[in-house]
Amino acid sequence: MSQEEMRDVVELSVDGPVATVTLQREKQLNALNRAVLTKISEVAAAVAERSDVRVVLLRGAGRAFAAGADIAQMRDFSAADAEAFSRLGQAAFAALEALPQPTIALVHGYALGGGLELAMACDIRIAAEGAKFGQPEVTLGVVPGFGGSQRLPRLIGQGNALYLLLTGEMVDAAEAMRLGLVSKVVPQDELETAGRQLAERLLTLGPYALAGVKRTVYEGAELDLHSGLRMEAGRFGLCFAHPEQTEGMTAFLERRKPDFPQASLDEGGAAR
Ligand code: HXC
């Protein structure tokens, strides 16, 4: 086995409170095969257990974030293989979305098909100038299988989502920004710095409130407005049984910066 083959297809590195997950199938533009998806699930499970990790960055090595599911692996799938593959990817991305820590996708090169679906399973997306986005599944004779038909309309609205899904057209970073697919576009050589700076900002905030925001938004997306508001009120109430609220509000009134207790995720019940 060559050095390249032995290297893990997904690397997790932890630097203090920031974890970086890197896709490492550069030669295939980080095409997502079974091994990559399985590894993403494992990495998400590992990160979920680590209260020292407070922010997760997701990136692709080489010249792309990810150019989609692995077409070579998929071509000869039976219908049952394809459904199982879809479920494998959906489970991996659901595990990422369910992390209590905020996740930031740093997108450069291409985020196509499963690559865009992976980026959409992250909480925040930053794009490098020159990045290209799209759901080209129809050009391959299939529908999306890792959540694109569900997360894209929720993220950018049904009309724009249907445009991208039905045409398979790629859009550039500026158009992705206009559509609301990404929150920021930066020069390519500043992508890592922009990710780091955003992580630093999130590190000043309380992990309990951040996890609570994530959970409230994602759970709310599955509810009608009335039920969502009731759920929000319940979680808002729970915050007042947690030290982050006391510290945040006291710091404001004392005109100082809050110093949130950091290993506090498991206290109370708003976050999980
Ligand atoms: C397998 C892929 C790949 C993919 C690229 N490669 N994308 N292999 N699956 N999705 C491989 C190429 O075959 C090539 O391998 C190498 O990566 C470099 O790619 P090139 O095409 O030579 O590079 P370039 O000319 O720069 O074109 C880049 C590109 C193009 C525009 C991104 O690669 C492309 O169109 N890729 C496919 C994009 C796509 O359709 N994605 C959606 C997949 S379906 P060799 O060995 O020749 O060097 C999907 C469904 C998800 O994601 C749901 C599943 C359940």
pLDDT tens-place string over residues 120-159: 999 999 999 999 999 999 999 999 999 999 999 999 999 9
Domain map (residue ranges) of the chain: 3-203, 207-253
Q: What is the 3-state secondary structure (H, E, C) of 134-203?
A: ECHHHHHCCCCCCCHHHHHHHHHCHHHHHHHHHHCCCEEHHHHHHHCCCCEEECHHHHHHHHHHHHHHHH
**Fold for the domain defined by 3-203:** 2-enoyl-CoA Hydratase; Chain A, domain 1 (3.90.226)
Residue 267: is its pLDDT beyond 50?
Answer: no
Residue 190 is among the residues annotated as catalytic for this protein: no
In degrees, rounded to 5, the angle at the alpha carbon of residue 148 between the alpha carbons of residues 145 and 149 is 90
92-113 pLDDT tens trace: 999 999 999 999 999 999 999 9
Please check the confidence at residue 44 and state whether its pLDDT lies above 80.
Answer: yes
Q: What torsion, rounded to 10 degrees, do the Cα atoms 234, 239, 241, 242 define? A: 150
- Only one residue has tokens 């550069």, namely 26
Task: Give residue 7's pLDDT band: very low, low, confident or very high (50, 70, 90).
Answer: confident
Q: Is 145 in the pocket of ligand 1 (CB under 6 A)?
A: yes
Report which ligand 1 atom has the smallest distance to the Cα of 70.
Answer: 9
Q: Has residue 265 got a pLDDT over 90?
A: no
Q: Note the pLDDT of residue 228.
A: 98
Ligand 1, atom 2, lies closest to the CA of 28
Assign 6 a pLDDT band (cuts: 50, 70, 90).
Answer: low
137 an active-site residue? yes
Cβ burial 73-105 (10 Å sphere, 16+ → b, else e): bbeeeeeeeeeebbebbbebbebbbebbbbbbb
- Per residue in 144-198, pLDDT tens? 999 999 999 999 999 999 999 999 999 999 999 999 999 999 999 999 999 999 9
Q: Give the distance from CA 124 to its chain's centroid.
A: 7
Q: How remote is the CA of residue 29 from the centroid of ligand 1, in Å?
A: 7
Q: Which CATH number fits domain 207-253: 1.10.12.10, 2.140.10.10, 1.20.120.530, 3.50.50.100?
A: 1.10.12.10
Q: Which atom of ligand 1 is nearest to the CA of 170?
A: 31
| pLDDT score for 4 | 44
Residue of 23, 24, 33, 71 to mutate, ligand 1, most atoms within 8 A of C-beta: 71
Among protein residues, the one with the nearest Cα to ligand 1's atom 33 is: 67
The CB of 203 under 6 Å from ligand 1? The reply is no
- Which residue in the list 117, 169, 175, 267 is annotated as catalytic? 117
Ligand 1 center to residue 37 CA distance, Å? 16
Contact 36, 10 (CB under 8 A): yes
